[in-house]
A and B are shown apart, each in its own frame.
Chain A
């Protein structure tokens, strides 16, 4: 199974970096979609099948927390796992995100292995099977994942 991934970040540069890291991780990706804030992300969700959302929290117009609330309260999108990739990893903020239904979070600055580990764990839990085999994980781990 290959996944459709929605990247939400107001920084085009950060979206490009995350996309590159995910591509290197070995997680099978069908399509990447991108949005610059929560409103744009909701528009993408209206027209596209998305399997997982990787989102920043601190964005203009609509931030990640508001996006999470909107995604979870819609019965069509409610089961889509949301992962925060954010600098805002205070205990209080993360507790709030967990209460609202976030599936995982990755703290910036991140290393590629960090994104890969959280993404695999969340996808496995959400879709009840391993997105890539143990052999593929081992093989991907041997690859050079430096930026």
Chain B
């Protein structure tokens, strides 16, 4: 992944997580270790397609604790009012805002079209091939690591 694009991704994500969810994020430098998954109770996955000259998919892997806190801070409600549906809705909106804002920065002529975000709970997640993917972006938060798989989007829009 191009370094300039990686920085743009970070700036975009940091804006959204800071302004909308009050959760600071820091990019992880170096390859993410496998032990990072130890103790993660489950993953809330949000993904959406970007279509244009070629099709791309962007996937966001939220540890459940991070998803819960995104929902709490976004909606401004007590933790007891958070359920799975609200977690899913919040992470889908986070993914939508992140990719939409990113496209606004790297694709000003709007040649790419943003899809509708999808979300699901992944109970038995295994990092598998993600760990070997050089285009993966990993961010550290106080609620665990956020992983984003860009699936070649940088090559088309940067």
Contacts and interface: CB of A to CB of B under 8 A. Distances in A.
Contacts, number: 77
Interface string A87-108: 1111111001000000000011
B72 to A, nearest CB: 10
Nearest to B15: A109
Contacts of B75: 13, 16-17, 147
Given A11-B89, A12-B89, A91-B108, A108 B74 contact: no
Contact of A87 (B19, B86, B89, B101): B101
Contacts of A17: 74-76
A14 interface: yes
A59 B114 CA distance: 10
B114 A90 contact: no
Interface stretch (B90-98, B121-129, B132-140): B90-98
A58 interface: yes
Interface residues of B, number: 28
Contacts of A109: 15-16, 19-20, 97, 101
Contacts of A12: 89
A90 B106 CA distance: 9
Given A13-B74, A13-B90, A87 B109 contact: no
B40 interface: no
B43 interface: no
A111 interface: yes
Interface in A106-120: 107-111
Given A11-B93, A13-B89, A90-B110, A60 B116 contact: yes
A91 B73 CA distance: 30
B103 interface: yes
Contacts of B100: 58, 86-89, 108
Given A59-B116, A109-B19, A109-B101, A90 B107 contact: yes
A58 to B, nearest CB: 5
Nearest to A21: B76
A20 to B, nearest CB: 7
Contacts of B108: 90-92
Contacts of B103: 87-88, 90
Contacts of B110: 88, 90-93, 96
A89 B104 contact: yes
Interface of A: 10-14, 16-17, 20, 58-60, 86-93, 96, 107-111, 147
